[in-house]
A and B are shown apart, each in its own frame.
Chain A
């Protein structure tokens, strides 16, 4: 867990540098300060379970079996990226191999989709838990309500985690909801809801694990809210000047990695071994991504449908006379 916390942060830091070098295609959405939620919950799933991450959940994706190379190549939109440059950011996955579902920018959409994956698995006679995340912002969407309600009525093994990080872009949670705890929304669906400390990786793991296993045993959907703080702006372009400095000060003291380090009390030898592994993994990922070729532009015409000929069309002005 500690290694994945550190790897997530190290990749994020390197991506910030690459972004400033104008090498990242699209936006860059940092998970700084929120890593414990991705890592703790990622470890709570079993092999064969499904998970739908958001853009700040690269930690989850790493825990579930994607590589640092996957993360970096997709940021740089290279031909070697999981999406071959078709999509950017943390928008990728692999249903068969890792159980990770690629998200879209419309937040909340994965809640009903993940419910459907649990439903489909059940229809095939399999018991697989599906888990996904929303922010405080996406807990306002119709998809959040419709998806959780559908899952509740169908008693599907779905775990939804609200990462309450105080801000949706620049909008404070107080403008999303009058509730103090967003997990109270569980009452609307008649399902269990819990609130936990999102900066304590072991608490996240323990609470999520219990929800995942309850869901697996037929307990229906579970709603978890983890309180945390987004320690950067919405994306790199955003200086987060709307966040009071005291809030950042307060949450800096609760940094999930520093807290976990205190509990772990690693020896210097253990630390340097991890540092070495981190450096080589991140260096390799960046090097691999930078050296990877750009995708062939003509790939743009491919993959809309199973039958590519549907969209292939030579316009009048490009034809020979």
Chain B
């Protein structure tokens, strides 16, 4: 079984889907000879040719629109954003055109959009953003954010096979940092299902993306505390049941995300728990998030901006003793 990095797992997932289905093709900037800014599509041009690995002009709104059109006639486009921040340039095509398409006239848009996402790489305000809630709040698109190579490979396949628009977020802090054995020709992993990373009794931590790994690190520093860690894996549709079930067992919960605070998925989870598990809560629903600011460049500032291991430990300790 090959050992794959997070990046290689995504690449392998794309490769296997393109081999299996001729309607799957790629569009994006610099994805051909260069292999994409992070080399996710290295070697794809040689294998699949320029008809299926389409290098586009620097115009996100245009190539997302073109991908929608191709999807209308039975293709399964996979669009790469060089950094996910640039998805803002294509916002109109996504939220007004693609997201509403099935609803307003019955035409589904089997479109996958993917790109490097998140902070911690000192990449500054325009190459570090967390864009998930822009889309989770726009009915008509699924938002997926895996944290392991196995999940990344399975979920990119599920996105490509899905008949509705999907946004696949790849934390660039994980690209080359984590590795695991992932079988060839592995099956897709269902969208919308969270995963219990570690079972526990005293407290539930809900997280996703790179923060899952930071939570694991924090849990290593508080072995006396029985923490249950849930990796959402999908932001929309949210696996409400898994979160509620865990909280009914542990009675305490905190949400850790690197997205900014106001209107982050943590706020939604807190609201869900208020309605669905109010009488099971033995403490406040706690959020550990970034502040409502752009992502700063300087390491000293980005370290303050992002939730740290120490933040997670401190919050968990305080909640546990509540």
Chain A residues near B (Cβ < 8 Å): 82-83, 86-87, 91-93, 95, 101-102, 104-106, 109, 111-121, 123-124, 130, 142-143, 145-147, 149-150, 153-154, 303-306, 310-311, 315-316
Point out the residues of chain B lying under 8 angstroms from A120, CB to CB.
69-75
B272-320 at interface with A (beta carbon < 8 Å): 275-276
Known: A104-B96, A109-B92, A117-B70; 15 extra A-B contacts, CB below 8 A, are A82-B105, A91-B105, A113-B65, A116-B66, A119-B69, A123-B52, A123-B70, A142-B62, A143-B92, A146-B59, A146-B62, A147-B62, A303-B106, A305-B142, A306-B163
Point out the residues of chain A lying under 8 angstroms from B63, CB to CB.
112, 146, 150
Q: Which 6 A-B pairs have the closest CB atoms?
A: A116-B69, A112-B65, A146-B62, A116-B66, A120-B70, A120-B73
Interchain pairs with CB closer than 8 A, number: 143
B185 interfacial by beta-carbon distance below 8 Å: no
Point out the residues of chain A lying under 8 angstroms from B107, CB to CB.
95, 102
Residue pair B73, A143 in contact (C-beta under 8 Å): no
Query: In the bound complex, how far is the Cα of B107 from the Cα of A106, in angstroms?
Result: 18
A-B contact pairs, 19 of them (CB 8 A): A83-B105, A102-B105, A104-B97, A109-B65, A112-B61, A112-B62, A114-B69, A116-B65, A116-B67, A120-B69, A120-B72, A120-B73, A123-B25, A124-B75, A143-B61, A150-B56, A154-B54, A304-B139, A316-B275
Shortest beta-carbon distance, A109 to chain B, in Å? Answer: 5
Residue pair B69, A115 in contact (C-beta under 8 Å): yes
Instruction: Choose among B25, B57, B142 the residue with the greatest number of A CB atoms under 10 Å from its CB.
Output: B57
Residue pair A92, B105 in contact (C-beta under 8 Å): yes
Instruction: Choose among A119, A147, A149, A303 the residue with the greatest number of B CB atoms under 10 Å from its CB.
Output: A119
B62-111 at interface with A (beta carbon < 8 Å): 62-75, 77, 92-93, 96-97, 100-108
B140 interfacial by beta-carbon distance below 8 Å: yes
Shortest beta-carbon distance, B36 to chain A, in Å? Answer: 19
Residue pair A147, B65 in contact (C-beta under 8 Å): yes
B192 interfacial by beta-carbon distance below 8 Å: yes
Shortest beta-carbon distance, A73 to chain B, in Å? Answer: 14
Point out the residues of chain A lying under 8 angstroms from B65, CB to CB.
109, 111-113, 115-116, 143, 146-147
Residue pair B97, A106 in contact (C-beta under 8 Å): yes
Instruction: Choose among B92, B101, B105, B106 the residue with the greatest number of A CB atoms under 10 Å from its CB.
Output: B105
CB < 8 Å neighbour of A95 from B73, B93, B164: B73
Residue pair A305, B276 in contact (C-beta under 8 Å): no
Query: In the bound complex, how far is the Cα of B102 from the Cα of A311, in angstroms?
Result: 14
B51 interfacial by beta-carbon distance below 8 Å: yes
Query: In the bound complex, how far is the Cα of B140 from the Cα of A86, in angstroms?
Result: 14
Residue pair A305, B75 in contact (C-beta under 8 Å): no
